Amino acid sequence: MRDRLLAATVLVLVATAGGAADWPQYRGPQRLGVAAQADLLDGWPEDGPRVAWRRSIGGGYSSVAAVGDRLFTLDTDGAEEAVLALDAATGDTLWRVPIGPFVQAELEDGGPRSTPAVAGGTVYAVSSQARLVALAAADGALRWQHDLTAWGPVPRFGYATSPLVEGRLVVVLAGQRGEEPGVVAFDRETGELAWQALSGPAGYTSVVAVELAGVRQLVLSLFEAVVGLSLEGELLWRYDTEPHAAIPMPVVVPPDGVFVSSSEDAFGGVLLRVARHDDGFRVTEAWKQRLMRNHFNSSLAVDGALYGFDNGTLRCLDATTGERLWAKRGFGKGSLVAAGKLLFVLGDDGTVALVHADRQGYREAGRIQAMRGRAWTEPALAGGHLYLRDFDELVSLDLRRPAAPAEVATP
């Protein structure tokens, strides 16, 4: 009996803590668009990797959070928005919890824009109309909730920021009236307000937690600045910029770089260096140019190179100097994630390609037409499976290498 109880306890701890193969929030474990290395196919057959499953899904741009054997996302049925828990192996719905009414967006593409975050057996999600909920991952039971319009109005195109779980905090852009987005942190267990910083209406980007200059901090792109906040909400540094549409998330370029971009020609992309001195932090501009104008999906860094979409062109830049290394058209306003030195590139027409992260040139190692609808949602990569979404479907591709045949012992 004691052994059975111990085994059950271990299973619960594994299921709630998450593992190295998980993708527990928007853009993955560190919010960098990079998965833990796995034994994945480095070349695809002509018909592509195996489709594990595909299923219909309601509208919206929410990506997938994957923890253990479950996936979490949001969709709409045209009347209400909801959080969904799915079986990762089959795509079947395990539970569905409505979290607010559907409101048609200005571009006739209403639905949730935010991706859930999962930690400690709780799912944190936000509707496009700014309702923040904490739900039990097991059954969707409500633990706590907030109406974020208490801090400011819903943005023009709907609430889009994805919650960040950092330690005991859940951090979101909630908005306070003024010129810049307001950042609000809640205790993730109780939902109590921990702190609020800055001011202004909610934007469309999300906060990232990183270590810069030896200090763990929260980094955020604002309309006219890039800022670093302490985990207590105190301003550590600020770098003023030209006004720009702050939609893509900042990208950390080790050891001390932060790349920030916008689709606007006047802004382009800038790499900042963050240093710590006796009198505080100093931020300098390493380079700035217009060859990586991210629209709404962020770039990622692999081995000293930046890969991302310059509006409709996939580009590779030297992260240290900003030098253009190569460019590839044909994906539209796409997105990408990485595992090791493999890039998984999703075109806005549902095309997905396997590309080697090679500074010397574009090297494609497989391509399929995975979906037919508009695919503006960034993929998720967990447990050797790539999860792709357009406005109608969710697809799981099995990227794992086939298991080697077992050796037969000879007498």
- Cα–Cα–Cα angle for 60, 315, 22, nearest 5°? 50
* Per-residue pLDDT band at 18 (split at 50, 70, 90): very low
pLDDT at residue 14 in the model: 34
Task: Please return the burial class of 56, using the count of CB atoms within 10 Å of its CB with bins 0-12, 13-18 and 19+.
Answer: exposed
In terms of pLDDT, which residue wins out, 246 or 195?
195
- Of 12-21, 45-54, 263-272, 355-364, the one with minimum mean pLDDT is 12-21
Residue 7: per-residue pLDDT: 37
Write down the residue that tokens 């998980």 correspond to: 22
| Inter-CA distances, 112 with 18, 51, 125, 356, 396, Å | 25, 26, 10, 32, 20
- pLDDT for the residue numbered 200: 78
pLDDT value at residue 3? 40
Q: What is the tens place of the pLDDT at every residue in 307-335?
A: 999 999 999 999 999 999 999 999 999 99
User: What's residue 411's pLDDT?
Assistant: 58
DSSP state, 3? H
What is the per-residue pLDDT for 175? 76
pLDDT at residue 69 is higher than 80: yes
For the four alpha carbons of 206, 20, 74 and 377, in that order, the dihedral sign comes to positive
pLDDT tens string 251-284: 999 889 999 998 887 778 999 999 999 889 999 9
Amino acid 246: pLDDT: 81
pLDDT (0 to 100) of residue 16: 37
Sorting pLDDT into bands at 50, 70 and 90, what band is 404? low
Spatial separation of the C-alpha atoms in residues 309 and 293, rounded to whole Å: 7
Task: Point out the least confidently predicted range of 53-62, 201-210, 240-249, 278-287.
Answer: 240-249
- Tokens coding 392: 């109608």
Q: What does the pLDDT average to over 164-189? A: 89
Instruction: Write out pLDDT tens, residues 131-162.
Output: 999 999 999 999 999 999 998 888 888 899 99
Q: Report percent pLDDT > 70 for the chain.
A: 92
pLDDT at 183 over 90: yes
